[in-house]
Amino acid sequence: MNPANLELIDQLSEDLTPVRTMKFHDGLLMAVTALVASVLIVAFVNGLWQAGLAGQASPYFYITNALLLAVGFAGATSVITMASPRVGNRHDGPRWAMAMLGVMPVAALITLLAQGGSEHASAIPGDPHAFKCALSGMAAGTLTAFVLFAWLRRGAPVSPNAAGLHLGVAAGALGSVAYGLSCPIDGVLHLGFWHVAPVLIFGLAGRFIAPRFLRW
């Protein structure tokens, strides 16, 4: 080979540094660790609702948290996969999981209408735990959001809008699960509206804010 070519190759490669391969199980482990850490923080600050952990809560408590967990991990796995794009990748999981979670606010709305009466209508804005649960769920999801965002920044997502949406949905859902374990209110109205709210708010925030920082 021409010595000039060898010299050019040396010049181009002298600043290169090895990069660790992004493996799916590493990203998933980071997401799980973020969720566990969030639960531990919530347990330390607020304590966990023992009746819920002992199986004494209403079915709505377990159904809502199970759906939130499914949405959270569907979104997280989609984000982890999007960081390393390849032909054949599909990201339909979060869409179906969000559709299933949508049953809860619909059920809450139907319950509210079925109960009728101004007493129940005024109970929604008057719920003393409403905004606390929504805001605390989002606060509990910030660690997951940071971890997934850092993972995306390491990779090369070809669809920043979808990546941002799924990041926000995952963070909101897993944060709501983490804080929800401390919430003693297990009615369908509270859970269907205020524990699902972080998914919607974080999802919109992720869709419109995160893509600005994911350009490559």
Structure pTM? 0.85
pLDDT tens for each residue of the chain, 216 residues long: 555 555 655 555 555 555 567 788 999 999 999 999 999 999 999 999 999 999 999 999 999 999 999 999 999 999 999 988 765 566 678 888 999 999 999 998 898 888 764 444 444 555 677 889 999 999 999 999 999 999 999 887 888 999 999 999 999 999 999 999 999 999 999 999 999 999 999 999 999 999 988 865
Question: Which 3-state string (H, E, C) describes the chain?
Answer: CCHHHHHHHHHHHCCCCCCCCCCHHHHHHHHHHHHHHHHHHHHHHCCCCHHHHCCCCCHHHHHHHHHHHHHHHHHHHHHHHHCCCCCCCCCCHHHHHHHHHCHHHHHHHHHHHHHCHHHHHHHCCCCCCHHHHHHHHHHHCHHHHHHHHHHHHHCCCCCHHHHHHHHHHHHHHHHHHHHHCCCCCCCHHHHHHHCCHHHHHHHHHHHHHHHHHCCC
